[in-house]
Structure formats: C-alpha cells, structure tokens
C-alpha cells in the first residue's frame, strides 16, 4: 500500500492550529479563574479577567470560541472533506483575512511596544514594563507567528491544483 503524498500546507496549518488552540487554552484558564501569568497581560484585560463578573466571563468565553474557530479554520484548510463542505474559496478568504488580522494586530503591538521599551516613544502615563515586555516578546509575538503560519498554509493550499 502506497502512502499518500502530504497535502501542501499541512505543517503550516497544524502549526497555526496548535498556536490557536494553545492560546484558547490559556484564555479558558483565565476565564475559569486561573491567575498564573495573568499579570503578564496587564491593563484592561487583566482587570477584566480578575473581575469575574458575568460580562467578564462572557468576554473570556467569546475569546476562547473565536480562538478555537481560528484553529478549526487552519485545520479545515488541509482536510479535503471539511474543505468541500465549507467551500475552498470561503476557507481561503477566511484564512487570508484571519492571518492578516493576526499579523497586523500582533506586529503593530510588537513594534509599538518595542519602541516604548527602547524609549523611542515616551507614553504620557506610567507603563507596566513587565506586562509590556511580555506582550512584545510573548503574547503579541504569538499572534504574529500564528498569523504567519496561517498565511503560509493559505498560500500553499491556494497553490495546489484542483
């Protein structure tokens, strides 16, 4: 029995899905009341997660759902049955938009945060440098890497013959 050839973009799609699901798991942990690393997020998101109000939990749940949907989108790109059911064109468009949002959001925050840490930009208010470093080096960079993996999957799947 001959093994089937790997589908283009599978590794990139799996990487994007892994990053999405891992991010969703962390958000779920915080939504359910976990506090480890929460101080590395800082600002309004940290305050909201610590608040434990119904709107705060609802916002956390929505975040988890959106991140899981993004993970499923990445997997759908390289699974023929899912692609046929949803529509290849729709998946490619959704993947393109999602990767663009992830790269732009994460990239802008990495650049701006980096400029603040380097004192090129001086904010008018005090900055939580611990949280800002975590955003530049971990949280926002995570979005950039996730978006790049998803974009790579989209490009490779788009290039495959049908």
- Taking 70 as the pLDDT cut, the residues of the chain under it are 1-6, 161-162
**Could you report how far apart the first and last alpha carbons of the chain are, in Å?**
24
pLDDT, residue 6, reads 61
Q: % helix / strand / coil in the chain, to the nearest 5?
A: 75, 0, 25
pLDDT in tens, 123-151: 999 999 999 999 999 999 999 999 999 99
pLDDT, residue 162, reads 57
Instruction: Give yes or no for a contact between 2 and 149, defined as CB atoms under 8 angstroms apart.
Output: no
Integer Cα distance of 88 and 153 in angstroms = 13
What's this model's pTM, rounded to 2 decimal places? 0.92
125 φ/ψ angles, rounded to the nearest 5 degrees: -110, 165
Instruction: Give yes or no for a contact between 136 and 115, defined as CB atoms under 8 angstroms apart.
Output: no
pLDDT, residue 159, reads 85
Instruction: Give yes or no for a contact between 98 and 73, defined as CB atoms under 8 angstroms apart.
Output: yes
């Amino acid at each position: 029995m001959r093994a089937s050839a790997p589908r283009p973009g599978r590794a990139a799609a799996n990487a994007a899905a892994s990053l999405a699901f891992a991010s969703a798991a962390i958000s779920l942990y915080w939504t359910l009341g976990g506090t480890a690393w929460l101080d590395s997020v800082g600002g309004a998101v940290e305050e909201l997660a610590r608040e434990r109000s119904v709107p705060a939990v609802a916002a956390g749940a929505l975040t988890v759902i959106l991140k899981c949907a993004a993970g499923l989108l990445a997997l759908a790109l390289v699974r023929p049955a899912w692609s046929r059911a949803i529509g290849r064109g729709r998946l490619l468009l959704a993947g393109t938009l999602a990767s663009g949002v992830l790269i732009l959001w994460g990239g802008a925050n990495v650049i701006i945060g980096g400029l603040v840490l380097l004192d090129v930009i001086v904010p008018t208010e005090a900055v939580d440098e611990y949280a800002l470093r975590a955003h530049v080096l971990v949280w926002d960079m995570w979005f950039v890497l996730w978006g790049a993996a998803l974009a790579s999957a989209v490009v490779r799947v788009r290039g495959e013959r049908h």
